[in-house]
Amino acid sequence: MDTVEMSSCRTYCLFFLLVRSILSDPSHTNQVVLLDTTAVLGELDWRTYPVNGWDAITEMDEQNRPIHTFQVCHVMEPNQNNWLRSNWMQRQAAQKVYVELRFTLRDCNSIPWVSGTCKETFN
């Protein structure tokens, strides 16, 4: 991906996942973090679809800490269908699982030459 295309894609998709497990305690004081990608130092080893459809990039968050991000920017290709899948996570004794997913999507109107191929939704 060339520098111009990479800079235009930088804000397209930012993903990181925080999965919390709320155990049987109804007061929610017994929380266990099953996966926090902001704390992972190495590769996430997530599966991507299509296989070479996503770029894994390390970005800096608001506190200047490294975070894992994935980006996809194939705005000239129609019928986009891009997916990320984490590895299997054991729920331990959890009865409820809360998922926090942070992402950004680029406004399709900001890319004038991609009429009809850009998507801003998860459908």
What pLDDT is recorded for position 122? 64
Which tokens is 27 given?
């007061």
Q: Quick one: which of 67, 50, 71 has its CA closest to 58?
A: 67
Mean local confidence (pLDDT), 91-113:
77
Average pLDDT, the chain: 70
CB–CB of 56/42 below 8 Å? no
Q: How far is CA 14 from the centre of its chain?
A: 5
Query: How many residues are listed for the chain in this entry?
Result: 123
Going by pLDDT thresholds of 50, 70 and 90, the confidence category of residue 97 is confident
SS3 23: coil
Q: How far apart are CA 43 and CA 86, in angstroms?
A: 12
Mean local confidence (pLDDT), 102-111:
75
Token pair 């850009």 is at which residue? 118
For residue range 41-96, list pLDDT tens digits in order: 777 788 888 888 788 888 888 888 778 788 887 767 777 788 888 888 887 777 78
pTM of the model: 0.57
